[in-house]
């Protein structure tokens, strides 16, 4: 596992990270805590040193899990977490990036993670009620206090990235990006390249769809958010199989899995990208880490890009309420 630099900030991470959310939040019933800890520690053994969590995952319990799991090797890894929501009665209750709330959230995250400094702190979603300059200023204060090392944004638009970066350098943008969601290439990549900001794609495997293990007959638990996402309706899962057929073709040629091709494609896009796939299964963890050994030639990339550009992917990637929280500035 090689190391990649996220922009010019000095932040270095493993070329593939690990998204911890799905271990106990968002994707159905929580994995047994002991098993979840084993998954995180196994990922470290595979060379993964970049772990992503957030206070809203659980809420709170995901950070606690990550904190316990990484304790034996805390100084060898990069921990990223996020603020930006009100949490009431154990549920998300709207956006909140007011400076005093950010500082309270960070104190809570530090305690739950059982660490002294958060390596990478993201604003989870842009709060239209709070100027992004105020958000960046609050994080700047936290950095000067030694409670945070690097500042990041999630699902932010180019305009707000620029505004925030002018107050406190932004080290990374986290947004969805995969073979079936390529909007960042035109909306934010030019800005990231210009400002030398790293990119951390979440859901690089299309929330599991690009592994080829989900079809129109797959049943989602009530606690799995995909159950209500338009792109994961049975009809759209059937329509979108065309992207799996492409991956199968390339995977067979490369003696790799669909997931490995999807991750290798992302790694080949820019040297300042580090995707954070998640899983609850040990064998999938090893499979994902194995993507670093898959080499896609320029011809392979062009073939994939041409095929994808000619496809229509059906279904919105978010519910309407979640879509409203995405910053398109």
- Please identify every residue annotated as catalytic: 57
Choose among 14, 5, 69: nearest CA to 47: 14
Non-local CB neighbours of 174 within 8 Å, separated by 6+ positions: 52, 80, 122, 152, 153, 154, 155, 199, 200, 201, 202, 276
DSSP 286-301: HHHHGGGG----HHHH
Decide: helix, strand or coil at residue 15.
Answer: coil
198: Cα separation from own chain's centroid: 13
Q: Phi and psi for 63 in degrees, rounded to 5?
A: -65, -40
Strands 78-83 and 50-52: parallel
Neighbours of 228 (CB within 10 A): 15
Per the CB < 8 A criterion, the answer to whether 218 and 30 are in contact is: no
Strands 198-202 and 85-88: unpaired
Per the CB < 8 A criterion, the answer to whether 43 and 285 are in contact is: yes
Distance between CA atoms of 89 and 262, rounded to whole angstroms?
38
Distance between CA atoms of 293 and 119, rounded to whole angstroms?
28
């Amino acid at each position: 596992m090689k190391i990649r630099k996220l922009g010019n900030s000095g932040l270095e991470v493993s070329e593939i990270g690990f998204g911890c959310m799905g271990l106990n939040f968002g994707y159905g019933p929580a994995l047994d805590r002991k098993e979840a800890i084993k998954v995180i520690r196994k990922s470290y053994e595979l060379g993964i040193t970049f772990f992503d969590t957030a206070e809203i995952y659980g809420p709170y319990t995901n950070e606690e899990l990550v904190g316990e799991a990484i304790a034996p090797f805390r100084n060898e890894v990069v921990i990223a977490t996020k603020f930006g929501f009100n949490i009431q009665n154990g549920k998300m209750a709207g956006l909140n990036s007011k400076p005093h709330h950010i500082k309270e959230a960070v104190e809570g995250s530090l305690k739950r993670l059982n660490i002294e400094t958060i390596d990478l702190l993201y604003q989870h979603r842009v709060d239209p009620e709070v100027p992004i300059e105020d958000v960046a200023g609050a994080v700047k204060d936290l950095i000067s206090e030694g409670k945070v090392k690097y500042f990041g944004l999630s699902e932010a638009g180019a305009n707000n990235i620029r505004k925030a970066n002018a107050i406190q350098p932004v080290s990374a943008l986290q947004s969805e990006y995969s073979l079936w969601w390529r909007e960042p290439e035109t909306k934010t990549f030019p800005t990231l390249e210009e400002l030398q900001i790293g990119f951390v794609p979440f859901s690089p495997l299309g929330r599991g769809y690009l592994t080829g293990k989900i079809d129109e007959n797959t049943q989602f638990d009530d606690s799995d958010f995909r159950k209500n996402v338009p792109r994961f309706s049975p009809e759209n899962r059937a329509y979108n199989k065309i992207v799996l057929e492409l991956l199968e073709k390339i995977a067979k040629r490369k003696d790799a899995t669909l997931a490995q091709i999807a991750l290798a494609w992302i790694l080949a896009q820019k040297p300042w990208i580090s995707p954070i796939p998640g899983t609850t299964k040990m064998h999938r963890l090893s499979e994902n880490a194995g993507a670093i050994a898959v080499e896609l030639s320029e011809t392979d990339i062009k073939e994939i890009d041409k095929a994808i550009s000619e496809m229509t992917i059906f279904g919105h990637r978010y519910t309407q309420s979640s879509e409203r929280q995405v910053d398109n500035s």
